[in-house]
Amino acid sequence: MTNYYFIVGEASGDLHASNLIKEISKLDENASFKGFGGERMQKQGLELNLHYSSMAFMGFWEVIKNVSAISRNFKQAKKELLEFNTDVLVLVDYPGFNMRMASFAKRHGIKVVYYITPQVWAWKESRVKKLKRDVDLLLPILPFEQDFFAKNQIESTFVGHPLLDAFKDIDSRSVESDKPIIALLPGSRKQEISTSLPIMMKLVESFENYQFVIAGAPSISAAFYRNITGESYIPILSNQTHALLKESKAAIVTSGTATLEAAILKVPQVVCYKTSAFSYFFGKLLVKVKFISLVNLIANKEVVKELIQNDFNGERLVKELHYLLDKKNKTKIIGEYNKIIDVLGSEGASLRAAKEIVSLS
């Protein structure tokens, strides 16, 4: 029996970890899974001990406000990690929490895997030393990350991006609408949805010939969205983001993995991000990359427009959406998307990662 303990802190991690668990199960018939995650991981056999919705705190000020809850989560994870007699701890993204758990596991003789590695190339490069000390197997999913780790004398294995696997199982159902669809992706956390969705809704009155549809996050109720949208009726399609994007003419996307999802599905997009003034101020001091979206980071240039903080407003959204809906501009954007897709690797990232993990155990 091999005991795998997973820690995931958000919806995209739940998706990728579920595919990873599925592949590990095929390779290791005696595998047992417990940990922090979501419904998708649970369906693949994880004994779910804490849902990621209880861990979704983003931004400096937001973390400070929720420090007691985060502390409780640490205590629970450490206790369960030892009680489970964990053989392998699999950490998926979520670096603020998972880097500390890696250190704890290493001290207790537990093998540590980091899948979807921390973006140390963007900020907190000092964490590179901790990764080298505490992690037995690094599995980056972005093509330039392996080179970064090599320059810092750290071995890693680039497995390709797991989104290419996730799209094999896109819901084939069509999204019904009499009008062309524009997708609104306000994020997966209540905090970011509450900030982003009211601004995104300002587009509706300027594009009456289009149907706006909200991509509902798996762990967020329809009632939560309705409290924001009020009497303005915008359909909510829960837990079907890929199917929605596939049918959309354009998308307004909160920064995160969804930006790359839209690119792979070749949907023109505007990327948006807004946080508290406190968090933004300190973020600007620490983050050393030119872009916030994975699309632009991989391309190393502006492929999609990023509206950050005060630039994320109704007037700018209207202007940028008009740009996206122009056929000539769409053709140009999709051409850039194709270049990005070419460097992401091939399908099978989840299987390649699973093989590496099972061989470690």
Domain chopping of the chain, boundaries: 2-161+348-360, 169-343
Q: How many CA atoms lie within 13 A of 52 on its CB side?
A: 30
pTM of the model: 0.79
Question: What's the confidence (pLDDT) of residue 77?
Answer: 97
Q: Would you state the pLDDT for residue 290?
A: 81
Specify the pLDDT at position 285: 52
Closest to 352 (Cα-Cα) out of 159, 144, 158: 159
Is the predicted pLDDT of residue 316 greater than 80, yes or no?
Answer: yes
The interaxial angle of helices 327-343 and 257-264, nearest 10 deg, is 110
Q: Give the residue-averaged pLDDT of 122-142.
A: 86
Q: What is the pLDDT of residues 229-259, one digit of tens each?
A: 987 789 999 988 999 999 999 999 998 889 9
Residue 125, pLDDT score: 66
Token reading at 88:
């392998």
> pLDDT tens digits, residue range 2-11?
999 999 998 8
Query: pLDDT, tens digit, for every residue of 24-49?
Result: 999 999 999 999 999 999 999 999 99
CB 63 within 8 A of CB 96: yes
Cβ burial, residue 256 (10 Å; 0-12/13-18/19+): buried
pLDDT of 66 reads 65
Amino acid at 335: G
Q: Which CATH superfamily is 2-161+348-360 part of?
A: Glycogen Phosphorylase B; (3.40.50.2000)
- Note the pLDDT tens digit of each residue in 337-350: 999 999 888 889 99
pLDDT at 354: 98
The confidence score (pLDDT) of residue 289 equals: 64
Summarize the confidence of residues 173-187 as an average pLDDT.
86
- Residue 291: what pLDDT? 86
Instruction: Report the pLDDT value the prediction gives residue 286, as an integer from 0 to 100.
Output: 55
- Whether 2-161+348-360 shares its CATH topology with 169-343 is answered yes
Are 161 and 142 in contact, with CB atoms under 8 Å apart? yes
Q: Which residues contact 181 (CB under 8 A, 6 or more apart)?
A: 175, 210, 211, 212, 213, 244, 247, 248, 249
Would you say residue 113 has pLDDT above 80?
yes
Average pLDDT over residues 319-344: 95
- Structure-token pair, residue 53: 């919705």
Q: What ranges make up the beta strands (E) of the chain?
A: 2-8, 31-37, 47-51, 88-92, 111-115, 137-139, 181-185, 211-216, 236-238, 248-254, 269-273, 305-308
CATH homologous superfamily of 169-343 = Glycogen Phosphorylase B; (3.40.50.2000)
> Which of the four pLDDT bands, split at 50, 70 and 90, describes residue 199?
very high
pLDDT at site 68: 78
CB 217 within 8 A of CB 190: no
Q: Which band of pLDDT confidence, cut at 50, 70 and 90, is reported for residue 122?
A: low
Most confident of 109-113, 144-148, 308-312: 109-113
Query: Which pLDDT does position 182 carry in this prediction?
Result: 97
Q: Return the percentage of the chain with pLDDT > 90, whole number.
A: 67
Lowest mean pLDDT among 55-64, 154-163, 197-206, 284-293: 55-64
Q: What is the pLDDT of residues 45-104, one digit of tens each?
A: 999 999 998 876 655 556 566 677 888 999 999 999 999 999 999 999 998 899 999 999
